[in-house]
Amino acid sequence: MLNLVSYVIDPYSSYWDFYFSRSSLTILADLALSFIFCLLISESSIYISNKLNDSYSWTETPRKRLLIETSLNLIVVFLILAILDQCYRLMYDGETCLDFHSNDKITSFFQWIVVSVIIAFMIIGINTCNYLIVNWKNAAMKAAALDQLAVEAELQSLKLQIDPHFVFNNLSVLSELILVNQQLGYEYAENLSKIYRYMLVNSKKDIIMLEEELKFLNSYMFLIKNRIGDGVTFEVNIDKASKQLYLPPLTLQLLVENALKHNKTNKKNPLKISIYNIDEQVLMVENILLPIENQLESSGIGIQNIIRRYDLLWQKQPEIIQDETTFKVKIPLIKQ
Region of 171 (left: φ > 0; alpha: ψ -120 to 50; beta: rest) is alpha
* Mean of pLDDT values over 41-49: 80
Radius of gyration of the chain (CA): 39
Question: Tell me: the pLDDT tens digits for 282-325?
Answer: 999 999 999 887 766 655 667 887 888 787 777 788 999 999 89
| Predicted pLDDT at 182 | 87
| Predicted pLDDT at 41 | 77
Cα distance between residue 196 and residue 219, in whole Å: 10
* Mean of pLDDT values over 194-214: 85
The pLDDT-based confidence of 86 (bands split at 50, 70, 90) is: confident
Entry pTM: 0.54
Write the DSSP string, 56-88.
S-TTT-HHHHHHHHHHHHHHHHHHHHHHHHHHH
Output the CA–CA distances (angstroms, integers) from residue 132 to 42, 65, 119, 278, in the order listed: 18, 14, 20, 51
CATH topology of domain 163-332: Heat Shock Protein 90 (3.30.565)
Q: Where are the domains of the chain?
A: 2-159, 163-332
| Predicted pLDDT at 153 | 47
Question: Among 250, 312, 262, which residue's Cα sits nearest to residue 287?
Answer: 262
| Predicted pLDDT at 163 | 52
The pLDDT-based confidence of 100 (bands split at 50, 70, 90) is: very low
* Mean of pLDDT values over 124-151: 73
